[in-house]
Amino acid sequence: MSLPIKRSALTLLAASLASNLLFSSGAQAEGKISIAQQFGIGYLILDVVRDQQLIEKHGKAQGLEIKVDWNSISGATAMNEALLTGALDVVSAGVPPMLTVWDRTRGKQNVKAIASLGSMPNYLLTNNPNIKTLKDFSDKDRIAVPAAGVGFQSRTLQIETAREFGNDQYRKFDDISVSLPHPDATAALIAGGSEINAHFSSPPFQYQALQNPNVHKVLSSYDVLGGQATFNVLYTTEKFHDENPKTYKAFYDALAEAEKIIKADKPAAAQAYIRVEQSKLPLALVEQIVKDPEIDFTVVPQRTFIYAEKLQELGVLKNKAGSWKDYFFEEAHGDAGS
């Protein structure tokens, strides 16, 4: 079975991005935006924005030529470091990593979310036939996640672990979690024979892995959150938001248009994903994922406040949010988010 090919320059280390900052002037001037995304179909809205050059289009509508710099990074930790050092203007990751940096930067850089990239389930998978529930994992097992202990998958697992074993045990599975990009973790799970025998995955990788008869699902993030919920979000600093109003508006409008494009023609959106990601996945599989009723490519946040409440309860977040609007910039407030 073919896996999505990895582009040679895609997996950037935060360290190299930070070093690049030494040769930059920090915050970008109006008319420039540097964006980073991770791997997977959870970033389809960004793929369509890129494919259709929607940021440039909406910039021109305001009389502004916008230069867009696209990057790819695996893992929320690297994303956050790149954002806070000023190496990137906009980054993307799961809701928990965004909340962590929102909490960490209050009163300083004041990082907030821009928009959701869609609601989709993430599956905890394993090729160990003896594992049916979380209680079946042992010290001998290894769970691959993009950012061990801090990423979307790890935080979701921690919330469910706290529910199963008590709040004081919420980090119970951190010691057997291993940081690994989704493509590599998927390959390891399908091949078998390595220390990686579980993977808290995301689309399209989880669907690809489940085509292997030796792989089965243990848990869905929707089980943890009680229904359809935002997976990834985009976020930036207050400085970039405030000092680049035209560029920010063009970016937000581009995201909203990409949502409409996807919902109007899902087969075409699937083709855009394959083009931009240079994916080797069969088009039929990508179309199936885009059309999955569990998935909603929307800029409107859904059930993000569950993370804000639970992570503050566990002591991961110091600051208590009054509502989801506390950690989203005002451009998103007009929608019926949560």
Q: Which helix (H) or strand (E) segment is 111 a member of?
A: none
The domains found in the chain, sorted by start residue, are 14-119+229-332 (3.40.190.10), 123-225 (3.40.190)
- Range of weakest confidence among 12-21, 108-117, 248-257: 12-21
Closest C-alpha among 242, 250, 312 to residue 102: 312
CA distance 151 to 145: 8
Q: What is the pTM of this model?
A: 0.85
CA–CA separation, 115 vs 245, rounded Å?
Answer: 16
Which residues are CB-contacts of 153 (< 8 A; sequence separation ≥ 6)?
Answer: 94, 122, 124, 145, 146, 147, 200, 201, 202, 221
On whether the CB atoms of residues 331 and 256 are closer than 8 A, the answer is no
C-alpha torsion sign, points 336, 309, 131, 145: positive
pLDDT 10s digits, 137-194: 999 999 999 889 988 999 999 999 999 999 999 999 999 999 999 999 999 999 999 9
Burial classification of residue 199, based on how many CB atoms lie within 10 Å of its CB (0-12 exposed, 13-18 middle, 19 or more buried) = buried
Cα separation, 179 vs 174, whole angstroms: 10
265-305: pLDDT as tens digits: 999 999 999 999 999 989 999 999 999 999 999 999 999 99
Q: Tell me what percent of the residues of the chain surpass a pLDDT of 90.
A: 83
The predicted structure's pLDDT at residue 179: 94
In Å, how far are 32, 144, 147, 197, 276 from 238, measured between CA atoms? Answer: 16, 33, 25, 41, 29
